[in-house]
Structure 1
Amino acid sequence: MARAVWSRLGRILWLSCLLPWAPAGVAAGLYELNLTTDSPATTGAEVTISASLVAKDNSSLALPADTHLYRFHWIHTPLVLTGKTEKGLSSTIHVVGHVPGDFPVSVWVTAADCWMCQPMARGFVVLPITEFLVGDLVVTQNTSLPWPSSYLTKTVLKVSFLLHDPSNFLKTAVFLYSWDFGDGTQMVTEDSVVYYNYSIIGTFTVKLKVVAEWEEVKPDATKGVMQKTGDFSASLKLQETLRGIQVLGPTLIQTFQKMTVTLNFLGSPPLTVCWRLKPECLPLEEGECHPVSVASTAYNLTHTFRDPGDYCFSIRAENVISKTHQYHRIQVWPSRIQPAVFAFPCATLITVMLAFIMYMTLRNATQQKDMVENPEPPSGVRCCCQMCCGPFLLETPSEYLEIVRENHGLLPPLYKSVKTYTV
């Protein structure tokens, strides 16, 4: 009997202990923790971590009204805790790391005074601690470009070093900056901001070495000089805008003649070039012509006109920074027959014809002279002529001389007449 009474009393006490923590158990899984931190940090500097309890996946879910019913529990070892504050449904701690490394920090929320109860939400973050200075190298220019790490040549660049020290750990330090701009230029300054102008295109790496020195009181009450360094870099791609396109080529040409036009681009490659012939000089629309990739600052385009008329080369070029248009007018005339083309052949033909006529004339004159000077052909020749020519040759020399005399009346007679006198 007594044993049954004590069993009932034990159950009642156990239920009475669980009743205050019932809301926390019901709320488990409905909330989550948002964690923020100002890490990374250098060794010795203070790091701040904040955790806030918010509704999970449902902004309309009401948060607990009584914030005193809940508590934040942190685990941060081996980091040293330097401060902790709680306000409403958020908690903030400050820790310091004396050795470099990546340190995990976890936090969870439970009902007040019940660390063994089921957590309403959990959070986890990793803090990177380094022995070097922490900061960023920022490069800016008045002309903003839509491409990352791309800047214009012959335009001033502002290069700044932004130290990351939210806890003001290095507020008494003296800094020295050593700059290397990657094009052979180096300088040392005491200012964290410099201005530089690149005159050539290309990809450059800006390197910066930062040295910080300050005095610190040691445990034995003596002062010592402390020093921290840091190396930073930024890659820059210097481009040059397309200031225009120089077109070198004829403005007047005949049909069926091959024309070559040279395009000189006043800007940095690589380029995308597109051109088309139009009746009027109008800008090219997107998709109006086939783009061509050009890896240099010069490009030759060729075309043969088949129809006469007035034309305009509409040219568009662009690089990663800008784009530009250019036009080139040209008049095409119909091809004509040029007299000079046929002058030499005609003169040659006439010369050949005149030479042939002179040759035939001289030949005939030579043959006639030979016939007069040699009336008696050789016997062999005569026999051959008689056998070959037959009736076409005369048989007697007298008849032959008579024919020669008739044909050459101007020649003197071959004999003189003799007069006879009677006494």
Structure 2
Amino acid sequence: MAPTLWLRVSHILRLVCLLHLAPAVVAAGLYELHLVTDSPATTGAEVNITASLVASDNGSLALPTDPLSYRFHWVHSPLLLKGKTEEAFRSTIRAVGNVPGDFPISVWVTSADCQMCQPVARSRLVLSITENIVGKLVITQNASLPWPSTYFTKTLLKTSFLLHDPSNFFKTASFLYSWDFGDGTQMVTEDSTVYYNRSIMGTFTVKLKVVAEWEQAALAAGKGIVQKTGHFSGSLKLQETLRGIQVMGPTEIQAFQEMTVTLNFLGSPPLTMCWRIKSECLPLEEHECRPVPVAGTVYNVTTIIMDPGDYCFSIRAENVISRTHQYHRVQVWPSRIQPAVFAFPCATIITMMLAFIMYMTLRNTTQQKDMVENPATAISPSQVSPTPSPLKRLGTSSLQVCLAVPT
């Protein structure tokens, strides 16, 4: 009896000891840790890293009602910890790096009453610390453009440097900005924003050197001057709107005559164009022609018009920032049949006729001579059938055709 009672009591005690492990075991794999940071940062500046415990995306799981049921554990060495803030299912640390480099940060979450249990969730990230100033170069244009990242020539460019300093590390620093626009234009300012106007289309690069200086307490004596620098650049492509299309080609042609028209596009390539011969000068609709890619500013179009009449050569061209239409009127006259076209065939026919006549004439002469010299072989006139003249055999149709050629 006693052994059986003791066995039951031991099972109950084991269940009591394992009861506090149940939340952690059940929660494992049901939650995730999301990490965010305001890095990169310069050496000496504070960096914030925030870890948030969220439920996995299964559509029904929710976080526990007690926010103190879990604890966050951080590994941030060799970064120096400057502070830690705990909120509901969220933990934030502030760290400082005194040397540049990429540093791994790890964090995991356990049950508050069982720190040695299996983590509910874990995550990590790599923190970037640099010796230089952190920021970015932003180039915008004072124009309302429907196309993103598009810039015009001969339009004012606004070039600004945006400092990344969430911890106000540079709050007492003075800055100096050295600008280089790549075309010989250079300037030095104390303002982080300058304006520049470039009239040449194409891609160019803006380079900027930023120098920051401030006083800082020194260990040996009084105060010392601290200086940090940063180098930044930004490339952009300036384009010109399509100001028009110059059309160079004939204004009068004959039917069935090949016509070549040269198009000069006044704008920035690459672009697309389409064209069509119409009876009236009207803008081309999207479905009226198939766009053709054009890599340059000159394009040749060759076509043949069959029927006489007045026509309009309609052209539509567009690049990434603009579109334009142009028209070119062409008068097509009926095709004229020139006498020279028939000169050679008629001369050939006449020559053949003359040669045949001469041949028949010589033949008849030879036959009559034989009849005179050999009376025995003569044939009575009644037996000789009348021989038509060579000209009558050929008829006058060929001659009429030649004579009917218009002059």
Which of the five TM-score ranges fits, normalised by the shorter chain?
0.7 to 0.9
**Alignment-mate amino acid for residue 95 of structure 1:** A
CA contact (8 A) 2:20 2:114 kept: no
SS in 1 for 2:20: helix
Deviations 1:315-368 (A, max 9, x none): 111223222221222222224468xx89xx9xxxxxxxxxxxxxxxxxxxxxxx
- What are the equivalent positions in structure 2 for 1:20-419 lying under 5 Å apart? 20-141=20-141, 142-144=143-145, 146=147, 148=149, 150-220=150-220, 222-286=222-286, 288-336=288-336
Q: Give 5+ residue unaligned stretches, structure 1.
A: 346-423
CA contact (8 A) 1:145 1:151 kept: no
CA RMSD of aligned residues (A): 2.5
> 1:135 and 1:4, CA in 2 relative to 1: closer, same or farther beyond 3 A?
farther
Deviations 1:270-308 (A, max 9, x none): 232221112223333345434433333223323332210
**Alignment-mate amino acid for residue 257 of structure 2:** Q
**Alignment-mate amino acid for residue 330 of structure 1:** V
Name the CA distance, whole Å, in 2 between partners of 1:77 and 1:209: 32
Name the CA distance, whole Å, in 1 between partners of 2:130 and 2:212: 15
Name the CA distance, whole Å, in 2 between partners of 1:42 and 1:14: 54
SS in 1 for 2:21: helix
CA contact (8 A) 1:159 1:196 kept: yes
Q: Give 5+ residue unaligned stretches, structure 2.
A: 344-407
**Alignment-mate amino acid for residue 183 of structure 1:** D
CA contact (8 A) 2:20 2:113 kept: no
Name the CA distance, whole Å, in 2 between partners of 1:222 and 1:4: 81
**Alignment-mate amino acid for residue 100 of structure 1:** P
Deviations 1:189-219 (A, max 9, x none): 1111111111001110111000000111123
Aligned-pair identity in percent equals 73
How many residues are matched? 340
Name the CA distance, whole Å, in 1 between partners of 2:113 and 2:58: 28
SS in 2 for 1:68: helix
Name the CA distance, whole Å, in 2 between partners of 1:292 and 1:27: 61
> 1:80 and 1:298, CA in 2 relative to 1: closer, same or farther beyond 3 A?
same
- Answer with 1 or 2: which has the greater Rg: 1
> 1:172 and 1:196, CA in 2 relative to 1: closer, same or farther beyond 3 A?
same
SS in 2 for 1:65: coil
Report the more deviating stretch, 102-111 or 58-67.
58-67
Report the more deviating stretch, 214-223 or 160-169.
214-223
Name the CA distance, whole Å, in 2 between partners of 1:10 and 1:220: 68
Name the CA distance, whole Å, in 2 between partners of 1:214 and 1:61: 52
- Following superposition, the deviation at residue 59 of structure 1 comes to 4.3
